[in-house]
A and B are shown apart, each in its own frame.
Chain A
Amino acid sequence: MGAETKSRKPARGPMRLKLHERRRFWGQAGFTLLTNANLGGFFRGKIYQGGLKQVCVPGLNCYSCPGALGSCPLGSWQSLVLDPLVKIPYYVIGFLLGFGLIFGRLICGRLCPFGWFQELLYKIPLPKLKLSRSGKLDRLLRNVKFVLLSFLVLIFPVLAWQELVKSPLFCQYVCPAGTVSGGWPLLLAGADPGLRLMLGWVFSWKTALTILIILLSMIIFRPFCSYVCPLGAWYGLCNKFSLYQLNFTPSACVDCGLCERECPMDIEVRKNLNSVECIRCGRCKAVCPTAALNSNWSGKRHENI
């Protein structure tokens, strides 16, 4: 009871939200720089080949990016599954399960470089579109990432279809992070003239898809994360049981609705806490004037009625 009274602070949500968003921005920027610190690679057109590449980074960060110090877990998973010498990529399973278990989609909201890239694009002052208001279409599109996770990442490569599937399908045909941070910089640097000779319909398709996602990111909040990203889909599934949990104390709620208004993923925060769609950006928590929404790292969920 005492703690509850203590948590009732005067309404200063918007100010706290501004501070929170600034901190989140610099956190995302710092992590992007940290995992892509081989800046000279962009000018030389060469990728980093040191030992750090043995380690998977938690976000979507193409290992063909000239700046990347670590490896993309999704790319590593697909490459190792298709490798006849490996078959069961325990190492990547351990990473994905571990990160998912501890953070859930906190990685999407606070660390992922490609998520940050989309957020930067969303800051461009253009009229914004919220697809979820149209209902059915949004619900349908949100399932696409689970379909991609199931088929392109799990079922096709894992089952005995290795004769048919010889390349990482998601990376090859879908992933715009690879095009933005790998394909384009390497081609622009022009260090390897052989790369230009290999341009074909796959590259044209991926460039078109990437441009579409870039344009959509200017008017829709993180469209790739909401509808396409299989890594986000995996972490989203982990939201339900991760150690980081959002909590809601209804007795402290003044029903101002600020949390739901501020949610960029358009989630009914109070009804669907720790939703698979929640990227855990923490805006709802920061804007809450009474701290009815809070979080903990113990993996316990408090849903007091």
Chain B
Amino acid sequence: MCAKPKQKNEITGGIAGNKPLRRRILQIGLGALALTALVLGIVFDQHTAVLRKAIYVCLECIGLG
């Protein structure tokens, strides 16, 4: 019994297999990572660190540093 060869997608050049599932898993994983990072950032008070940096004219940002 040999496995059915995977069909190559003419449009994308990719292998049409369980690509959508892999993409979905990647999306869920990265979504969870993004949320975790955001929550961690807020827990560690990094939003106020952003504010601290941003309320002064960033001299480097405008080429004066």
Contacts and interface: CB of A to CB of B under 8 A. Distances in A.
Interface of A: 47, 49, 51, 53-56, 62-64, 71, 75-76, 79-80, 83, 85-86, 89-95, 97-98, 101, 167-168, 171-173, 175, 178-179, 182-183, 186, 192, 195, 198-200, 202-203, 205-207, 241, 243, 248, 250, 270-271, 273, 299-301, 303, 305
A273 B13 CA distance: 11
A299 B33 CA distance: 17
A207 B59 CA distance: 14
A90 B23 contact: no
B49 A80 contact: yes
Counting chain B CB atoms within 10 Å of each CB, the highest count among A192, A203, A243 belongs to A203
A129 B5 CA distance: 45
B1 interface: no
Contact of A91 (B42, B61, B62, B63): B42
Contact of B34 (A94, A168, A186): A94
Contacts of A248: 11
A169 B56 CA distance: 18
Interface string B48-65: 111101111111111111
B35 A98 contact: yes
A47 B55 contact: yes
B62 A305 contact: no
Nearest to B44: A90
A172 B60 contact: yes
Interface of B: 9-12, 20, 23-24, 26-27, 30-31, 33-42, 44, 46-51, 53-65
Contacts of A270: 11
Contact of B53 (A83, A179, A203, A243): A83
A91 B34 contact: no
Contacts of B56: 47
Chain B facing A: main interface SS: helix
A95 to B, nearest CB: 7
B30 A305 contact: no
A182 B61 contact: yes
B63 A64 contact: no
B11 A54 contact: no
16 contacts: A54-B50, A85-B49, A89-B41, A89-B46, A90-B44, A94-B38, A101-B30, A168-B60, A172-B63, A175-B61, A182-B57, A195-B57, A202-B63, A206-B63, A248-B11, A301-B23
Given A80-B49, A98-B38, A305-B11, A195 B64 contact: yes
A178 B62 contact: yes
Given A83-B49, A303-B12, A75 B61 contact: yes
A185 to B, nearest CB: 9
Given A167-B60, A305-B9, 16 more contacts: A53-B54, A63-B58, A64-B62, A75-B58, A79-B50, A80-B50, A89-B46, A91-B41, A92-B41, A93-B41, A94-B36, A94-B41, A97-B33, A178-B58, A178-B62, A299-B27
A41 to B, nearest CB: 11
Contact of B64 (A92, A173, A183): A183
B10 A86 contact: no
